[in-house]
Chains A and B, each alone.
Chain A
Amino acid sequence: MSKKVISVQRFNPETDKKPYMQEYQIDTNDFHGTMLLDALEHIKTMDQTLTFRRSCGEGVCGSDGVNINGKNGLACITDLRKLPKTIKVRPLPAFPIVRDLVVDMEQFYSHYESVEPYLQNDDEPATERIQSIDERAKLDGLYECILCACCTTSCPSFWWNPDKFLGPAALLWAYRFVADSRDTATEKRLDQLEDLFKLFRCRTIMNCADVCPKGLNPTQAIGHLRDEMIDRAI
């Protein structure tokens, strides 16, 4: 570990007509930590105008999703030692840029909201809603999503129809509640996804599973949703 060149996409809507790349020379011995986020924070001590989101700094909150050398990921858990000498950092694609690496995620959240990502069950349980170990196991690989948007913004179907296709993250969450033995709104949830775009614009190219920093597989969740739809329609 020593010297790296970090090229960051900059954009200030008040002064810049379009985004441009700015290079920073860094020495990894000059700061603590080994992750890309540590390097960005080090750059910020040199150039305080650089803007990016961060919160937990350990891959739990999903704030610092960025495009690293062409592939989406979380800056806080991307090891600098595994990156080449020159690193290009851009904001997540397909979203409007607010400033530098900060993007407007309104569309992403409105798709997430549209799948009603909360447990729905009108029956009042006497005590708790009991699940068997097998029923609970079905939620593994689904509940861990941190809504960083790395998957959705790496999906060409979302790039071409961001207003109509819900994207892998929202669909993963839709399946998380369809798969939940305590949820009784499955029929409604599946009805809402049966149009031409919301789910079916997925072409199964698996960019989402390739980039997910939590190792989840939205493509598989989408496949399970399709199976549920076919199962009740045939």
Chain B
Amino acid sequence: MDMVKSITSFSSNGLRDWLLQRITAVILGVFFLVVLGFFVANPNPTYQCWYALFDCNAMKLLTIFALLSMVMHGWIGLWIVLTDYVKPKGLRLVLQIAIILTLIALLVWGIQILWG
């Protein structure tokens, strides 16, 4: 059996996709723990308080990493879901493109919010 080629997968390599999915999961986990920690420390955050959190460079950087991780993790994971459950090739391609465009749009939107 030949290697399965896919032009819509994230990295076209099973090992790299697998490892990236794990690394991005850890980054997303750290990001959400930090945000959760913020809400525990500030149960009723004001706008200023929320603004100050994302105004610091470390949080901006972590958020960018989290957004990039979301794109990679979502692309890899949803590609797997679609190749499992959506068998008609045309529909699968449309959904794959829709997911990739949505993830990139979310990334751009997130960057705009941080530096807009």
Contact = CB atoms under 8 A, between A and B. Distances in A.
Tell me whether A and B are bound partners: yes
B85 interface: yes
B9 interface: yes
A157 B12 CA distance: 18
Nearest to A190: B15
Contacts, number: 45
Given A160-B84, A161-B84, A198 B14 contact: yes
A229 interface: yes
Interface in A179-225: 193-201, 203
Nearest to A234: B19
A230 interface: yes
A114 interface: yes
B41 interface: no
A200 B14 contact: yes
A229 B84 CA distance: 24
B1 A196 contact: no
Interface string A154-185: 00110011001000000000000000000000
A199 B18 CA distance: 11
Contacts of A111: 1
A226 interface: yes
Interface residues of B, number: 16
A201 B85 CA distance: 13
Interface in B5-43: 6, 9, 12-15, 17-19
Interface residues of A, number: 22
Nearest to A111: B1
> Interface on chain A toward B: helix, strand, loop, or mixed SS?
loop
7 contacts: A161-B84, A194-B13, A195-B3, A195-B4, A200-B14, A200-B18, A230-B19
Contacts of A157: 84
Given A193-B14, A200-B15, A201-B80, 11 more contacts: A110-B1, A161-B84, A194-B13, A195-B3, A195-B4, A195-B13, A196-B12, A196-B14, A196-B17, A200-B14, A233-B15
Nearest to A226: B18
B3 A160 contact: no
Contacts of B1: 110-111, 114, 164, 198
A196 to B, nearest CB: 5
B4 A198 contact: yes
B15 A229 contact: yes
